[in-house]
A and B are shown apart, each in its own frame.
Chain A
């Protein structure tokens, strides 16, 4: 018979299972590693863990975040080692990856500031018409338009 631990133990186990899931482990592997009766039991424990921790967030999103946090933690450890050993090229490589992971986390959490678009209307319609008229006149020789004036037909005069 499976021993039933305290609530704290149960939650800690579910949290570990969630982290393993975040690392991409299969449900059966998680069940084997953490002693769940079945893969379904492991899945339910992880779902309950997510529901407790972040009720508003989706499961897959939360799982992605867990995975990225672990990756980031590992990368920071690598960065510390690279810094300690004084290998600047390795510091640069770790920096690239840390920034990439951090950017993904920020996107998942919706932390990027929205892009602001300033629309500055500098011309009124009449100013634009004046500009076009001046440009047209400037393009003509002697400032004269050679055109035929056609009178509007009076209202009601429909051609039969």
Chain B
């Protein structure tokens, strides 16, 4: 019997988002290198930013030492 492991779920989700971000960054590099539509590049950049925002949202903050 295995219980719900919130940390494992978190790691899994963060891992997926990183994979997604990597693919997006590679695609952006390809679009820029090919000199394709600028709007496409901007859209990819937005997707990267939103992916990072979601990754940050599910990543626990490091508590500052006081």
Contact = CB atoms under 8 A, between A and B. Distances in A.
**Chains A and B bind each other:** yes
Interface of A: 52-57, 72, 76, 79-80, 83, 86, 88-89, 91-92, 95-96, 98-99, 102-103, 105-106, 109-113
A113 B6 contact: no
A139 B47 CA distance: 53
Given A91-B23, A106-B13, 20 more contacts: A54-B3, A56-B4, A57-B4, A76-B16, A76-B19, A83-B23, A83-B27, A88-B30, A88-B31, A95-B23, A99-B17, A99-B50, A99-B51, A102-B13, A109-B13, A111-B9, A112-B57, A113-B58, A113-B59, A113-B61
Contact of A88 (B13, B44, B51): B44
B47 A86 contact: no
Size range of the interface on B?
20 to 34
A105 B24 contact: no
Contacts of B54: 99, 102-103, 106
Contacts, number: 78
9 contacts: A54-B4, A80-B23, A83-B23, A95-B47, A98-B20, A99-B50, A102-B54, A106-B57, A109-B13
Interface of B: 1-4, 6, 9-10, 13, 16-17, 19-20, 23-24, 26-27, 30-31, 36, 40, 43-44, 47, 50-51, 54, 57-61
Contacts of B4: 54, 56-57
Contacts of A98: 16, 20
